[in-house]
Amino acid sequence: MSDRSKLIATGKPFKFDKKYDTEFERLVKRYPSRESMILPALWLVQEQEGWVCEEAIGYVADRIGTFASKVYEVATFYTMMNLHPVGKYHICVCRTLSCWLRGKQEIVNYFRDELNLTPGKTTEDKKFSLEEVECLGHCGSAPVLQINGEFYENMDVDKVKKLLATFK
Ligand code: FES
């Protein structure tokens, strides 16, 4: 798993574009305190940019009216927050017990051998990124992958091969 304590700065200021600014203002009314908006605001950042940069942490803190350290804590705790740019298809392989016992490593090895893709990395063409993540909550149908938010269950190397062939 990649180092989740370090943020990457882009050197450019971050702000929500109009769509996400509107969504932020809509959501903020639904929460009892503005600090409850940290995670939803980070999701909006990730939807807009595909990942969460250092500048976005400060921006979210300012929009919410809290400390950047609190936003940082949330962003670095949840593995579903991408702290580096990811490929068009962001593949998360569950590495927790059920998936580990039922063959997740063969799938990870397939990515390494066939795509030269290891956890925390992106292919040169920026098409695929790979992460190993904690339990995805579908343990009864292990091993489980999540790709761009969609779940793929009871996977094996053959199924992964067929699935990747459908991605343009
Ligand atoms: S252990 Fe993999 S989904 Fe729970």
Mutation to probe ligand 1, out of 79, 92, 94, 146 (largest number of atoms < 8 A from CB): 94
Calpha distance 102→59 (Å, rounded): 42
Q: Does some domain include residue 122?
A: yes
* 160 in Cβ contact with 107 (< 8 Å): yes
Q: Is 65 left (phi over 0), alpha (psi -120 to 50) or beta?
A: left
DSSP conformational letter for 115: H
Instruction: State in Å: Cα 128 to ligand 1 middle.
Output: 22
Q: What is the pTM of this model?
A: 0.79
CATH number at 135 reads: 3.40.30.10
From 150, 128, 136, 148, select the one nearest 104 (Cα to Cα): 136
In a domain, 10, yes or no: no
Mutate to test the pocket of ligand 1, among 102, 108, 138, 154 (most ligand atoms within 8 A of CB): 138
Q: Which atom of ligand 1 is nearest to the CA of 98?
A: 1
Instruction: Name the phi and psi angles at 45, rounded to 5.
Output: -60, -45
Give the residues surrounding ligand 1 with Cβ less than 6 Å away: 94, 96-99, 135-139, 142, 144
**Whole-angstrom distance, CA of residue 125 vs CA of residue 88:** 9
User: pLDDT by residue for the chain (168 residues), tens digit each?
Assistant: 457 778 999 999 999 999 999 999 999 999 989 999 999 999 999 999 999 999 999 999 999 999 999 999 999 998 889 998 999 999 999 999 999 999 999 999 999 999 999 998 999 999 999 999 999 999 999 999 999 889 999 999 999 999 999 998
Of 77, 106, 126, the one marking the end of a domain is 77
Q: How many domains does the chain have?
A: 2
Question: CA-CA distance, 117 to 110, in Å (whole number)?
Answer: 9
The H or E element spanning position 145 is strand 145-147
Which residue range forms the structural domain that includes residue 100? 89-165
Tell whether 39 and 103 lie within a shared domain. Answer: no
Compute the distance from residue 157 Cα to the ligand 1 centre, in Å: 17
Distance 130 CA to ligand 1 centre (A): 16
Q: Note whether 35 and 69 are same-domain residues.
A: yes
Q: Residue 96: its pLDDT value, please?
A: 96
* Domain contains 3: no
Note whether residue 84 is domain-resident: no
| Same domain, yes or no: 110 and 144 | yes
Atom of ligand 1 nearest to the CA of 141: 3
